[in-house]
Structure 1
Amino acid sequence: MSSEGDAKTTVRNISTDDKLIMTQEQSAKKGFCSVRYGLALILLICNFSIYTQQLSLSIAITTMVNQTTLQGQPNASLDTQDDWNATQDEVQAKAPTYDWNPEIQGIILSSFSYGSFVAPIPVGYVAGVLGAKYVVGAGLFFTSVLSLLIPVSADAGVAALIVVRVIQGITQDMVLTSQYSLWVRWAPPVERSQLINIATSGTMLGSFIVLLVGGFICQAIGWPYVFYIFGGIGCVCCLLWFSLAYDDPENHPFISADEKRYIVCSLAQEDNLPGWSLPIKAMIKSLPLWAILVSYFCQYWTINTILSYTPTYLNSVLQFSVRDSGILSSLPFIATGIGIMLSGFLADFLLSRRILRLVTIRKLLTCIGIVSSCALLMALHWIRFNRSATVIFLILCIFLAGIPQAGSIVNIIDIAPRYASFLKGIIQLFVAIDGVIAPTVAGILINQDSVLGWRNIFLIASAINIVGLIFYLIFGQAHEQDWAKK
Structure 2
Amino acid sequence: MSATRRSWSNRRPGTGYAASWRSTESGGDMATDSTVPAQPRWPKRLTLLFLCFAATFVCYIDRVNISVAAIAMQESFGWSETTKGLVLSSFFIGYMIFQVPSGWLASRHGGKLVMGLAIAWWSLFTILTPLAAAVSLPMLLLARVGMGLGEAATFPAGYYLGARWFPPGERSRFVAVLLSGVPAGTVFALLTTGWIVTHWGWQSVFYLFGVAGLVVTALWFALVHDSPAGHPRISAAERALLASADDKREGSGPTPWRRLLALPAIWALVFNHFCSNWILYMLLSWLPSYFRATQDLSLINAGLFSAAPWLSMFATINLGAWLADGRIRRGASVTAVRKLMQAIGLLGAGGFLLLAREAATPLMALLVMCCALGALGFTWSGFAPNHLDIAPRHADVLMGLTNTAGTVPGIIGVAVTGWLVDRTGSFDAAFLLAASVAAAGALVWLLFATGRRILD
TM-score range, shorter chain: 0.7 to 0.9
* CA–CA separation in structure 2 for the residues paired with 1:24 and 1:342: 33
Instruction: State the match for 1:215 in structure 2.
Output: 194
Distance, in Å, in 2 between the alignment partners of 1:421 and 1:25 is 32
Deviation at 1:25, TM superposition (A): 5.5
Structure 2 counterparts to residues 187-226 of structure 1, below 5 A: 187-226=166-205
TM-score (norm 1): 0.80
Mark the CA change 1:222 to 1:307 in structure 2 (over 3 Å): closer, same or farther: closer
Q: Is the 8 A contact 1:25 1:262 kept in 2?
A: no
Q: What is residue 254 of structure 2 aligned with on the other side?
A: 277
Pairwise mapping of residues 294-373 of structure 1 onto structure 2 (< 5 A)?
Answer: 294-354=271-331, 356-373=332-349
Alignment of 1:44-123 (within 5 A): 44-64=53-73, 68=75, 99=77, 101-102=79-80, 107-123=86-102
Alignment partners' CA distance in 2, 1:408 and 1:251: 30
Structure 1: gaps (5+ residues): 1-18, 69-97
Displacement after TM superposition at 1:422 (Å): 0.8
Give the paired residue count.
426
Tell me if 1:419 matches 2:428.
no
State the partner residue of 2:11: none
Q: 1:449, 1:295 → 2: CA distance?
A: 28
CA distance in 1, matches of 2:445, 2:186: 29
Alignment of 1:291 with 2:300, yes or no, is no
In 2: Cα distance, 1:125 partner to 1:409 partner:
19
Match of 2:373 among 382, 395, 398: 398
Q: For 1:466 and 1:149, locate their aligned partners in 2 and report how far apart those are by CA, in whole Å.
A: 40
- Structure 2: segments with no counterpart, 5+ residues: 1-29
Does residue 34 (structure 1) correspond to residue 34 (structure 2)? The answer is no
How far apart in 1 are the matches of 2:140 and 2:416?
27
Write the distance in 1 (CA, Å) between the matches of 2:315 and 2:37. Answer: 27
Alpha-carbon distance in 1 for matches of 2:163, 2:73:
43
Contact (CA 8 Å) 1:274, 1:419: kept in 2 or not? Answer: no
Quick one: distance in 1 between partners of 2:423 and 2:85? 20
- Verify the 8 A CA contact 1:25 1:259 in the aligned structure 2: no
Distance 1:56 1:271 in 2: 36
Amino acid at match of 1:426: L
One-letter code of the match for 1:385?
A
Check the 8 A contact 1:369/1:402 in 2, yes or no.
Answer: yes
Shift of 1:192: 0.5
Is the 8 Å Cα contact of residues 88 and 414 (structure 2) preserved in structure 1? no
**Percent sequence identity over matched residues?**
27
Query: What does residue 231 of structure 1 align with?
Result: 210
Partner SS state of residue 192, structure 1: helix
CA distance in 2, matches of 1:313, 1:152: 28
Question: Given that residues 128 and 420 in structure 1 are in contact (C-alpha distance below 8 angstroms), is that contact kept between their aligned partners in structure 2?
Answer: no
Give the superposition deviation at 1:153.
3.9
Q: Secondary structure at the match of 2:450?
A: coil
Q: Deviations over 1:342-392 (max 9, x none)?
A: 2112211222233x121221112112222333332222334x235423321
* RMSD of Structure 2 on Structure 1 (CA): 2.7
The worse-fitting range, judged by mean Cα deviation, of 246-255 and 371-380 is 371-380
User: Counterpart of 1:331 in structure 2: which amino acid?
Assistant: A
1:99 shift after superposition? 4.9
Larger Rg: 1
Q: Does 1:477 align with 2:445?
A: no
What is the distance in 2 between the residues matched to 1:461 and 1:62? 23
Q: Using a 3 Å threshold, how does the CA distance of structure 1 residues 100 and 387 change in structure 2: closer, same or farther?
A: closer
SS state of the match for residue 255, structure 2?
Answer: coil
> Aligned partners of 2:37 and 2:125: how far apart in 1?
45
- What is the aligned partner in structure 1 of residue 21 from structure 2? none
The answer for the alignment partner of 2:351 in structure 1 is 375
Q: Identify if the C-alpha distance between structure 1 residues 372 and 164 changes in structure 2 by more than 3 Å, giving closer, same or farther.
A: closer
Equivalent residue runs for 1:461-472 within 5 Å: 461-472=434-445
Distance 1:309 1:129 in 2: 37
**Greater mean alpha carbon deviation, residues 345-354 or residues 401-410:** 345-354
Shift of 1:104: 6.1
Normalising by the residue count of structure 2, what TM-score does the alignment of the two structures yield? 0.85
Per-residue deviation at 1:100? 5.9
Q: Within 2, Cα distance between the matches of 1:263 and 1:126? A: 24
Mapped to 1, the partners of 2:370 and 2:453 lie a distance apart of 36
Q: Deviations over 1:227-265 (max 9, x none)?
A: 222111111101110111111111112222111211223
How far off is 1:190 after superposition? 0.7
Task: Classify 1:133/1:345 alpha carbon distance in 2 versus 1 (closer, same or farther; 3 Å).
Answer: same
The offset of 1:313, in angstroms, is 2.9
| Alpha-carbon distance in 2 for matches of 1:51, 1:129 | 26
Cα displacement (A) at 1:426: 1.3
Question: What's 1:143 paired with?
Answer: 122
Letter in 2 for 1:200: L
The residue that corresponds to 2:241 in the other structure is 262
Q: Cα 1:24–1:240, aligned 2, differ >3 Å: closer, same or farther?
A: farther
Tell me how far 1:116 sits from its aligned partner. Answer: 2.4
- Whether the aligned pair in 2 keeps the contact of 1:249 and 1:255 (CA below 8 Å) is yes
Report the Cα distance in structure 1 between the residues aligned to 2:282 and 2:73, rounded to whole angstroms: 25
1:23–1:344 CA distance, 2 compared to 1 (3 A): farther
For residue 440 of structure 2, what is the amino acid of its counterpart? V
- Report the equivalent of 2:20: none
- Please state whether the residue corresponding to 1:472 is helix, strand or coil: helix
The alpha carbon displacement at 1:26 in A equals: 8.3
Separation (CA, whole Å) in 1 of partners of 2:32 and 2:356: 54
